[in-house]
Structure 1
Amino acid sequence: MAVSQPSRSRDLDKLLLRPGHLVGPTFEPGPELREGMKEIVKVLVVGAGGLGCEVLKDLALTGFRNLDVIDMDRIEVTNLNRQFLFRLEDVGKPKAEVAAKRVMERVNGVNITPHFCRIEDKPDIFYSDFGIIVLGLDSIEARSYINKVACGFLEYDSDDNPRQETVIPMVDGGTEGFKGHARIIIPGTTPCFECTIWLFPPQVKFPLCTLAETPRNAAHCIEYAHLIKWNEVHGRKSFDPDNPEDMQWVYLEAVQRAELFGIPGVTYSLTQGVVKNIIPAIASTNAIISAACALETLKIISGCSKPLSNYLTYNGVEGLHIKVTEFVKDADCLVCGPGVLIELEKSVTLKKFIDQLEDHPRLLLTRVSVSYGRKKLYMQAPPELEKDTRSNLDIPLFDLMNRVSRDTINVNGMACKGDKKQSCMRILRIAFKGVDGIADIDMAGGA
């Protein structure tokens, strides 16, 4: 007598088709919920590396059918030991495209759209099309950028409560060797990435005198070639860590430097790791963190269980250690908070408003551009737009805002952080003296 095989969605059905005691307030079990996840919800996976490959596979097997994946990298031989969607014949091909193809070959009915580009190449409106964003990134800068874009869509009501229709949740995963984390970010409710930026330790920096005069290990030789020798030889040509020819040049220079001082251990893989600040990845850690990310994505979208609250850490160095920590949202966060309140006279021109932003003690912005709704009020670049919008600088901001039926202004600029300028996205609240109501201003930009 033939024994029927259990359905692949058997365990998922137990979560989505039955009521429970730990479900979210909006959970309504039934086939409609399961089909809605398949047909309606769009999920964006950012990153198609070691963690991204696992996340893409797990989300497809969890029942999500409309997925997008974005990654700017091409496959390298060194990726093959842990990025299981790739084969030797894929070396040199875009990660996003190959990962999407392989998952669609193995999971029936899933549709994955790949995007082979930088995350900054996509306009903000691209990210607004997704119900949730899952991050499988390896850099603080990339996480910060996506966080600021997603929080840029957030709007608050008159009581400073987030408007739920403007919230795009994020699930962030990260791994370093045997360690990893998974966290959820609900803009306006949980801490955003900027609220907890202090969690990340400062990057290790070597004194230039050590690199130039007394190198003691392989990393010193590599950083000498990268930070000192490159500029001596190439002048103004900037080093591109994603260009194999540039990386090969640094590697060969580092080898020569190491031989001169009798220092062993310089390899091409180590050169990549030092220059790009890469920590060796372990496949099992990626699988564990990916499973946590996929589960949290399912819980947030379906409400089948209460989501993580709100930061999970995993440590597999000695046995198995998992801990959940609840971090608190920064009420004064310039990215996800209600915003800095600025009071203006109705007569203040757009130019004077921009000058105030540059002098504001909490903002300290430079090269500010302003758009309101779909209308560009003033743009620093490109030159054609600057010329077209220059005439608005002498018009009162109040008049410009009244010409567009919208309450949100986008302000782009560069903010100083320490000794360098970084991308910024800020929310301001504008109150005009003698006028009831407050207008929200979203500030976004890049260095």
Structure 2
Amino acid sequence: MADGNASSVDAGRWRDLDKLLLRPGHLVGQNFEPGAELRDDLQAYVKVLVVGAGGLGCELLKDLALSGFRNLEVIDMDRIEVSNLNRQFLFRLEDVGKPKAEVAALRVMERVSGVNIVPHFCRIEDKDIEFYSDFNIIALGLDSVEARSYINAVACSFLEYDSEDKPCEETIKPMVDGGTEGFKGHARVILPGITPCFECTIWLFPPQVKFPLCTLAETPRTAAHCIEYAHLIKWNEEHSGKPFDADNPEHMQWVYLQALKRAELFGISGVTYSFTQGVVKNIIPAIASTNAIISAACALEALKMATGCSKTLSNYLTYNGVEGLHTKVTEFVKDKDCLVCGPGIPIELDPSTTLQMFIDLLGEHPRLFLQKPSVAYRGKNLYMQAPPVLEEMTRSNLQLPLFELMDTVPKDVVHVTGMTKVNDRKTSCVRKLRVIFKGIRDGITDMDTSSTV
């Protein structure tokens, strides 16, 4: 009797999912084959990485687990704060100070049987590119342009093109991206090489608000002015030569205290630690209901990608719940000259060009200006700027010709990670180059390498 009840409960658990996976339809994907084995494969083999365990990330983990995904991982560098508790529903007061990724993973596994979630409490840049290659789908629940841009570049780094510059389907790393701002939000599908990637539509994001330095220094009128004064002016005055790290709690606390002193001096109210974080890191306030709606859309798109039970969103959905309810789907066009998801910038090198000369060229290239780049090829580190132990291990490669360090196979991918400026801030990035070696065109079909920076 007990076994029968358990079987009945399990069957009822997947009732709604089975309606999508067990029946044919007119809107299904090209390779969709309905059947019980499709659900089994979804649960056994599909791996999804959730990037971010905040308001949107908590909802994503829950929705994906309840949609049949059992192999999940989540990465987030933040710890839980009291201010998170009003919308990040997986966290409790006793969790304050603990890593978001670890607590979120544990809470979902406690409530959804059979799911396995591996947490990673670290920066997204701390993982090498090969870490991201293990996942079938990457779901983004991030709150910054810089972080989205980095993950987008990593996913696009796996993309390869054939001799006719058409994307190779097996190298496409699908992504779903969600974002919220108050009562507004978006969900989008990114299929590198097919749909526009994040960088193709970077213009969708408005420029960051900038304050005149004279206002900050002489006549501050708002709490934001006081915070930016401490961040942009006071920090440099008292920490000459030391870069400010927005992810360092000690640095943020220092800015908060300096901003508070300045606000009191000018009779300005509203400076809090959380508001200081919001101004410095350009964090947008979030509302629980908006997160839930956008997460549901993203989870559904992930299910479509994994099973083909329906055609995916094409390709950008907007939601506006400020006054009533309004949703709209817009199809954006891929930028064929995109530095991230396109075939890449052609660059011609002499076969004698050393790895050091190649790295120097990356810093001088008019469309790149990369600082401190690291280079990897087919999972092998050719040169790494950090940590020191890897720099020492790979330093001898700098004097070797790049051509000798690579296999002479067309369209190989060289990964180059470096620093560039996004919204006037230095950030890690990935770019693509197509390296052609002079004199190697005939007989080897033009050495064509997609380089990631």
2:216 equivalent among 211, 229, 236: 211
Distance (Å, rounded) in 2 between the aligned partners of 1:196 and 1:405? 29
Corresponding residue number in structure 1 for 2:84:
79
Is the counterpart of residue 435 in structure 1 residue 447 in structure 2?
Answer: no
Distance (Å, rounded) in 1 between the aligned partners of 2:395 and 2:337? 33
Shift of 1:83: 0.6
Corresponding residue number in structure 2 for 1:120:
125
1:282-321 CA deviation, whole Å, 9 max, x = no partner? Answer: 1000000000000000011110001000011111111001
Shift of 1:253: 3.0
2:164 equivalent among 131, 151, 159: 159
AA of the residue aligned to 1:119: I
Distance (Å, rounded) in 2 between the aligned partners of 1:369 and 1:314? 40
| CA pair 277-354 structure 1, distance change in 2 beyond 3 A | closer
1:311 equivalent among 308, 316, 322: 316
Is the counterpart of residue 330 in structure 1 residue 335 in structure 2?
Answer: yes
AA of the residue aligned to 2:43: K
Distance (Å, rounded) in 1 between the aligned partners of 2:414 and 2:248? 38
Corresponding residue number in structure 2 for 1:12:
17
Corresponding residue number in structure 2 for 1:168:
173
Corresponding residue number in structure 1 for 2:55:
50
Distance (Å, rounded) in 2 between the aligned partners of 1:45 and 1:197? 21
1:220 equivalent among 214, 225, 231: 225
| CA pair 328-418 structure 1, distance change in 2 beyond 3 A | same
Distance (Å, rounded) in 2 between the aligned partners of 1:394 and 1:82? 53
TM alignment of 1:290-369, pairs within 5 A? 290-369=295-374
Aligned 8 A contact 2:434 2:451 in 1? no
1:197 equivalent among 202, 212, 217: 202
Corresponding residue number in structure 2 for 1:262:
267
| CA pair 9-174 structure 1, distance change in 2 beyond 3 A | same
Task: Pick which of 37-46 and 366-375 moved more.
Answer: 366-375
Task: Pick which of 195-204 and 227-236 moved more.
Answer: 227-236
2:149 equivalent among 144, 156, 171: 144
Shift of 1:147: 0.7
Aligned 8 A contact 2:433 2:452 in 1? no
Aligned 8 A contact 1:351 1:393 in 2? yes
| CA pair 45-392 structure 1, distance change in 2 beyond 3 A | closer
Aligned 8 A contact 2:412 2:450 in 1? no
Distance (Å, rounded) in 2 between the aligned partners of 1:157 and 1:291? 35
Aligned 8 A contact 1:39 1:65 in 2? yes
Give the secondary structure class of the aligned counterpart of 2:343.
coil
1:384-415 CA deviation, whole Å, 9 max, x = no partner? Answer: 65566555555544344348999332334444
AA of the residue aligned to 1:85: L
AA of the residue aligned to 1:435: D
Distance (Å, rounded) in 2 between the aligned partners of 1:243 and 1:342? 38
TM alignment of 1:418-429, pairs within 5 A? 421-429=426-434
AA of the residue aligned to 1:95: K
| CA pair 59-340 structure 1, distance change in 2 beyond 3 A | same
Give the secondary structure class of the aligned counterpart of 2:200.
coil
AA of the residue aligned to 1:143: R
Give the secondary structure class of the aligned counterpart of 1:183.
strand
AA of the residue aligned to 1:171: V
TM-score w.r.t. length of structure 2: 0.90
TM alignment of 1:349-428, pairs within 5 A? 349-381=354-386, 389=394, 392-393=397-398, 395-402=400-407, 407-415=412-420, 421-428=426-433
TM-score w.r.t. length of structure 1: 0.91
1:26 equivalent among 22, 28, 31: 31
Aligned 8 A contact 1:430 1:439 in 2? yes
Which 5+ residue runs of structure 2 have no aligned equivalent?
none
Aligned 8 A contact 1:411 1:442 in 2? no
Shift of 1:276: 2.5
CA-atom RMSD, angstroms? 2.6
Shift of 1:146: 0.7
Aligned 8 A contact 2:316 2:331 in 1? yes
| CA pair 288-362 structure 1, distance change in 2 beyond 3 A | same
Aligned 8 A contact 2:161 2:411 in 1? no
Shift of 1:35: 0.5
Which 5+ residue runs of structure 1 have no aligned equivalent?
none
1:60-112 CA deviation, whole Å, 9 max, x = no partner? Answer: 00010110011111111111110111111111111111111111111111111
Corresponding residue pairs, total: 443
AA of the residue aligned to 1:441: T
The alignment-based identity, stated in percent, is 75
